[in-house]
Chains A and B, each alone.
Chain A
């Protein structure tokens, strides 16, 4: 399972992830991390069997947790050209039998490589 953690300003200096790892013994994999003075955002991968306890532990630490649904393709704007498929580093985007482009939210690592390649600006990253 992948989850996005949002830390507020006061908490970015604290070792929250380590605390949660020690507590849950979940082998958390950090896929992406952006931290500055105003806030921190970290994308993590957690083994499915530890998902529930890990989310609960982060929430207990006061961290906002978002699970899945990071990238959205507007069906109204998408023309199913497939350009984004070639840019996805983790093969999360594919075309169905009838050529409809779809995204696998579980595979997506929220990197955003597909966003600026879309010629009809159909892809957006949820903030």
Chain B
């Protein structure tokens, strides 16, 4: 007979201490070794877990009223600005808001970790003063216990799966996917694979509005699908909330991504009731069945090139093959803590401290993501590049100097006999050559050239020039053919005209 059970029947078994609870990793083994039918018959609940950087996290706080009272206009907590567009003493502190003097090191996520650790937090508020709330400023210290409410409220958490990232540029980059070495030197990924909550309920049959969950070491609830919920592409997300006062710093950690920003690491665990064989089969999913793509984060565009298809089994192995190379890959999330989340939730259920809930509404299972509507045209290198003035490495300094004057440029691109890039020479290099009585161009030109691709956004070109302290980027195609040149003069003229 096919197994069918209800959430109420499972809760009854939990109350009697008779429910069989396993983690999603254990379920994968059970389904593999004993089959779906037996797994459905023997297992009542599968616990999932994930522990990763979830930038869309934050906390609603209520401080209570001071005497005389204040209607807060601007607010910082340990120097981190909290959003105050709510009632007089309410605020929302977002995980990614950074301390202005400790950028990338300390931000909203760290303040949340400090609060949940019981530490004192400095609160500085100012106000314009009203007839009913005359106070103009407050400078005090608070702890989590002093607050009326502290509600962790995260509009987008627990991605079903995520892309893996690597970097095809010639330079090291710092991204929200971590520190990526040049020329595909390493790769990163996020998510717990077969332990991930939504991965085990891909059709959102049991996870819905009102589902009780493990959140940050305490109890939380799913309040709906998250922002950027993209079920069509298999990238579902959740909006969750829970009482921060009952959470633990073990499962809520401030995070720092150098040159990108701060965030909050959140531990989330969701129980999946095994109502039927279909859910037993779905929770039996293994890492090799969870597909994702390796993207080139070296390309600063919304749609980053897919370098290859991969799966969580390959990602978790620590090595990923890319063409003829093997590169090291690691997670930015923690599988070890994801396991701890799933096993803690399992223990809570076994100890009858956690009962399952019936979702009040299903999450949308169709629909896709829209890109941002941009009303003003975006500029790319190909839109602003100028024709490059070129020379050959064998030419002598005098000839190149004359060309610089004749064409009225500051940069001359050095090309090979087939017209591909091999260096760059600036008017300063020529001046230096004259001063040093150097006659060979090859001795004064730059051989390692920082370049741009034609579809690189202008902002990205400007960042590159600033980073390398240079004033031009030859624009090249994949075969290193010269397409043009982007110069800082050109960018300043362009932006000067805009204003």
Contacts and interface: CB of A to CB of B under 8 A. Distances in A.
B336 A85 contact: no
Contact of A83 (B254, B265, B331, B336): B331
Interface stretch (A14-22, A24-32, A39-47, A74-82): A74-82
Interface in A94-127: 95, 98-100, 116-121
A86 B329 contact: yes
Contact of A80 (B179, B256, B257, B336): B336
Contacts of B318: 82, 85, 95
Nearest to B104: A116
A87 B336 contact: no
22 contacts: A79-B51, A79-B253, A79-B265, A79-B336, A79-B337, A80-B334, A80-B337, A81-B330, A81-B333, A82-B331, A83-B179, A83-B331, A83-B332, A85-B318, A86-B329, A87-B179, A99-B334, A99-B336, A116-B179, A119-B53, A119-B255, A119-B265
B42 interface: no
B108 to A, nearest CB: 15
A85 B329 CA distance: 8
Given A80-B335, A80-B337, A85-B328, 17 more contacts: A79-B336, A80-B334, A83-B330, A83-B332, A85-B318, A85-B330, A86-B186, A87-B181, A116-B179, A116-B258, A118-B256, A119-B178, A119-B256, A119-B332, A120-B253, A120-B254, A121-B105
A99 B188 CA distance: 16
A116 B258 CA distance: 6
Interface of B: 51, 53, 105, 178-179, 181, 186-188, 253-258, 263, 265, 318, 327-337, 339
Given A79-B334, A99-B335, A100-B336, A121 B253 contact: no
Nearest to B53: A119
Contact of B178 (A98, A99, A117): A117
Chain A interface secondary structure, helix, strand, loop or mixed?
loop
B330 A86 contact: yes
A121 B337 CA distance: 17
Contacts of B253: 77, 79, 120
Contact of B187 (A86, A95, A119): A86
Among A79, A82, A116, A117, residue most surrounded by chain B Cβ atoms (within 10 Å): A79
Nearest to A118: B256
A36 to B, nearest CB: 21
A59 to B, nearest CB: 37
A116 B53 CA distance: 16
Interface of A: 77, 79-87, 95, 98-100, 116-121
B49 to A, nearest CB: 13
A120 B337 contact: no
A14 B58 CA distance: 57
A85 B187 CA distance: 11
A3 B126 CA distance: 54
Contacts of B186: 86-87
A119 B329 CA distance: 16
A117 to B, nearest CB: 4
Contacts of A119: 53, 178, 255-257, 263, 265, 332
Question: Which of B178, B186, B336, B339 has most chain A Cβ within 10 Å?
Answer: B336
A75 B335 CA distance: 16
Nearest to A119: B255
A64 B21 CA distance: 58
A119 B328 CA distance: 18
A88 to B, nearest CB: 9
Contacts of B333: 81
Contacts of A98: 336
A66 B132 CA distance: 65
B334 A117 contact: no
A118 to B, nearest CB: 8
B362 to A, nearest CB: 33
Given A86-B186, A87-B186, A117-B179, A81 B258 contact: no
Contacts of B339: 99
Contacts of A117: 178-179, 258
A87 B328 CA distance: 8
